[in-house]
Structure 1
Amino acid sequence: MSLETAWGLRERPSKGPKPGLSLERIVDAGIAVAAAEGIGAVSMGRVAKALGVSTMSLYRYVSARDELYVLMQDAATGAPPEMPAGITGWRARLEWWARAQREVFRRNLWLVRVPVTSPPASPHALEWMEQGLAALDGSGLDEGRKISVLMLVGGFVRNEVALMADLDAAMRAGGQGPDEAMRRYVRTVDALTSTAPERFPALRRTLAAGIFDAADTEDTEFEFGLGRVLDGVAVLVEDR
């Protein structure tokens, strides 16, 4: 039912229970609630309250919260931006695709909290898949391997954004900036491991080297991880 709605294959009510109520307004309200309060706050009742209508009035447009999730995801994700013509080669194209996805998630952090219950099938999700598969043209990989690569790269992007969002939320809750949070972490780990350095020789060496003295930027960790993932894909391409 949710995919039929997303693809425009389900007949919508000709008249809403309240003038001006529409599927688009319901989806936009759901996105606004998710952005402000998190995906866990999104319910039919909460969205109805935001719109100033009764909960039952929403069911003329959306059958359930899970359907609303699908429509919210599709609307917030949007169609992928057009890849610049100057980007050539499977690796450069896939890098661009991964960074574009990351930007979408960073603008809508609640997206990484929506449970994944099925393979992508909404309109914009399939457009992103199409672009990712097309990026691998010329790699020599068969279609099955291309899908596996997209799952690997897309999973890395989603996990990286979720981790950064968690760390950022924790720092904000503690009223700390990244560097201050790292200094506190170093002091804590140093104190805990100094009493038994023989148990943590590698960690002690890392602390002594000052690796944790300042926080890396989000981009630094993302680019390092993406590069190593694509190095692995390159080995797969070479060994095809």
Structure 2
Amino acid sequence: MAEDEGGTGDGGTFLPPSIEAAWGLRERPSKGPKPGLTLDRIVDAAVALAAAEGLGAVSMGRVAKELGVSTMSLYRYVSAKSELYVLMQESATGAPPALFPPGAGWREALEAWAWALREVYRRNLWMLRLPVSGPPATPNSVAWWEKALAALDGTGLDAGGKISVTMLLGGFVRNDALVMADLDAVIEGSGASPEDVLSRYARTLRRLADPERYPEVARLLDSGVMDVADEPEAEFRFGLARILDGVAALVEGHAA
């Protein structure tokens, strides 16, 4: 993430001015070289461009063109494309919903958190292509951390354990969404149904994988499981349950 020219912002945060503005630490630029141009309009235009054409279409020049302004005029509001990416993610992620009903246990709360985060990614697939530039540093991203950490209250885990669980779960959600997005793109590009694509793959693998060299793969193929497409959420549900089983063992071990 880019730093401002002085090394720190007004609040000594080492964040760019636009990110400090998101935290309310400084005023957002209100008067620019073109009437009506604001940081929010720039971010909204970038998000719309990413949603329509993918993250690769987003550049300072292209966003400026969409807004009908010069590229240089954008730099009054955001200093670099990497900074714009952070603001785009903050806008598209939004604040976490009120996930936990009264009396919810940690497992139910974390499960709701994971499904809600998955939905954010599924609505904004371009976010999966954003480079990871560091830990959460914007209000909404920190609010999502807060929700997960709050879900672990009462488990007996220390601060290190809580943040490790949060990072593990968040990484799983992001990776699952990325894999599913890539598979969906392949299936859509093939023009065939998911069942046909999977069946074609199974037939190809049967021809290529010698049973004597790959006996377990041969047994898998013979079982027929590769000939039927799972429901879209099946793998996510399975992986999430296994992770939460592991967290449960961690919590029980700590209590013991």
Give the TM-score category using the shorter length: over 0.9
User: Structure 1-normalised TM-score?
Assistant: 0.95
Aligned position for 2:106:
90
1:56-103 alpha-carbon deviations (Å, 9 max, x no partner):
111111111111111111010000001242461111110011111001
CA RMSD of superposed structures (Å)? 1.2
- Structure having greater relative contact order (Cα 8 Å, sep ≥ 6): 1
Contact 2:29/2:39 (<8 A) preserved? no
Aligned position for 2:47:
31
Is 1:17 the counterpart of 2:33? The answer is: yes
Contact 1:43/1:65 (<8 A) preserved? yes
Aligned position for 1:234:
248
1:118-151 alpha-carbon deviations (Å, 9 max, x no partner):
1111000111111100001111111110000000
Equivalent AA in structure 2 for residue 232 of structure 1: G
Is 1:70 the counterpart of 2:86? The answer is: yes
Aligned position for 1:159:
175
Contact 1:186/1:213 (<8 A) preserved? yes
Equivalent AA in structure 2 for residue 17 of structure 1: P
DSSP 3-state at the match of 1:9: coil
Q: Distance in 2 between matches of 1:44 and 1:90?
A: 43
Is 1:114 the counterpart of 2:106? The answer is: no
DSSP 3-state at the match of 2:225: coil
Taking only the aligned residue pairs, the percentage that are identical comes to 63
Q: Distance in 1 between matches of 2:60 and 2:25?
A: 22
Pick closer, same or farther for the CA change 1:87–1:165 going to 2, 3 Å: farther
Is 1:199 the counterpart of 2:233? The answer is: no
C-alpha deviation, 1:10, in angstroms: 3.5
Aligned position for 2:164:
148
User: Structure 2-normalised TM-score?
Assistant: 0.90
Unaligned runs of 5+ in 1: none
Which of the numbers 145, 152, 170 marks the counterpart of 1:136?
152
Unaligned runs of 5+ in 2: 1-15
May I ask how many residue pairs the two structures share in their alignment?
238
Equivalent AA in structure 2 for residue 155 of structure 1: G
C-alpha deviation, 1:9, in angstroms: 2.5
Aligned position for 2:234:
220
Contact 1:186/1:212 (<8 A) preserved? yes
Is 1:171 the counterpart of 2:191? The answer is: no
Equivalent AA in structure 1 for residue 216 of structure 2: A
Pick closer, same or farther for the CA change 1:84–1:144 going to 2, 3 Å: closer
Contact 1:179/1:214 (<8 A) preserved? yes
Q: Distance in 1 between matches of 2:52 and 2:186?
A: 17
1:34-68 alpha-carbon deviations (Å, 9 max, x no partner):
11121122110011111111111111111111111
